[in-house]
A and B are shown apart, each in its own frame.
Chain A
Amino acid sequence: MKLKYSAIRKYVLIGAAVSVMAATAGNTIPGTFCNICPVGFLEVSAASRSIPWKMAAWVFAGLIAVYFFGRFFCGWFCSTSLVRKCSGSRCPSTENIYMRYLPYLVLGLSVVLSFFLKFPVFCLFCPIGLFFGFLFAVFKLFAVQEAGLTLIVFPVVIAAEVILFKRWCSGFCPIGALFSLVSKIPGPKFRPAVNRSTCILGNGGTCSVCKETCPESVKITDGGGDITEKCTSCMECAEKCPTGSIKFRK
């Protein structure tokens, strides 16, 4: 039996969350994703008018990976993707032009508001931060038998953000937006691509399976900048493609 991409992705996503928690229990260094978060980095720089140098190396390394692989973090490591996968929530496709630019606006606002309000604003709502905050609250429940409101509030906020507001990842998340900006910088890019000789469209037929499955509304058969900018390498399209024409490559 061949393992499906979506199944592999689920295990990787779970693995990512589990390793963060294992690191916690074992008191080892990595900590949560916040440590490498480029949005957090910008927010702190803006709010405190100084650069958090200790974060800089991690953030830079992360962004180098993004430069080559685009939003792979979104598809394969982000806890929000895990929540969506487990809850069955999907970003509905959209042609809406405003939705397309909203994440960049949110990114800009997060940094500007952090500057004026003098604290990292987006971190308050960040579903990734809240996810791990929630796991820590559960942990605390067992470690010191202390229940907090956190146990109720965090899951509610996350649910509101990613389950009710289905377009969080494609239409709101400033982290995804920053990744998009970095992956737009020209250079070698590794993303899924269509093999035109086997694709139904390349042979005069009609098919729109990949376009419809894509949670980021990328038309992968059209090629071009959209893929570099938005594709999360989730491989949902590759899995659904009836002729198996989509492969991950340079």
Chain B
Amino acid sequence: MKYSRREFNKLMVLSLVTFSTSEASEGGRSFLRPPGALGEERFLEKCIRCQRCIQVCPKRVIFPLSFAEGIKRMNTPVVSFRKSYCNSCLKCSLVCPTGALLPVTEATLDIGAAVIIEKDCVAWDWVGCTVCVDECPEKAIYLDEHKRPVVEPEKCNGCGICELKCPSTSIRKSAKGKGILVKPRQAGTLPRDPSLHKKRDTK
């Protein structure tokens, strides 16, 4: 197939436009970004994928996103609590050179909010598991009258301890995953309230 130069130019412009609009149209935040991250759109404008936040994290919870998640997000940092949790050291938010992550404090740190996955949480239909409630350093989870855990998002900082410690898969074969997962705050979820922060002396 042969293109004239004008057709080729048109094709380039068109593909660029579709690329930018398809990327921009996605509202809300769908990836767990490191502490202090700007909103997803602003974040992508600023992050140069320098990996400093990834390098500096002593708990190793920040990873570069695979290119499978789209070329525009390739190598940008995301948080995963599969092997570890965030201890609020705040280093990541301080080292970012571009301002894609802005400095936060222990009280304003907000990675996301934990969400109970009802089908996988063993306490949902079997009284007895209180692991997340006991482990949460922010006391953001309470047990309701059926002894089921409930998260108060305004207290949760998204540290991931509950997700890391949740024993659902080892207690029950049918559980597909953890009974509690930290997710980006969706529209309608309360933001974290810094005044409810629980001071800790251990890290």
Contacts and interface: CB of A to CB of B under 8 A. Distances in A.
Is B truly associated with A?
yes
Nearest to B55: A24
Contacts of A143: 60
A209 interface: no
A44 B48 contact: yes
A90 to B, nearest CB: 28
Nearest to A150: B66
Nearest to A143: B60
Interface residues of A, number: 41
A119 B6 CA distance: 27
B19 A55 contact: no
Contacts of A150: 64, 66-67, 75
Contacts of B45: 44, 47-48, 118-119
Interface stretch (A7-15, A32-40, A68-76, A163-171): A32-40
Contacts, number: 112
Nearest to A115: B45
B142 interface: no
A1 interface: no
A120 interface: yes
A27 B48 CA distance: 19
B: contact size bracket = 35 or more
A86 interface: no
Interface stretch (B92-100, B124-132, B147-155, B158-166): B92-100
Contacts of B24: 118
B48 A117 contact: no
Chain A CB count within 10 A is highest, among B24, B41, B55, B68, for: B55
Contacts of A113: 16
A43 interface: yes
B83 interface: yes
B83 A144 contact: yes
A62 interface: no
Interface in A111-162: 113, 116-120, 123-124, 129, 132-133, 136-137, 140, 143-144, 146, 148-150, 153
17 contacts: A32-B51, A48-B99, A50-B99, A52-B97, A52-B98, A54-B98, A58-B97, A118-B24, A120-B48, A120-B49, A124-B72, A129-B49, A129-B50, A129-B75, A133-B49, A133-B51, A150-B64
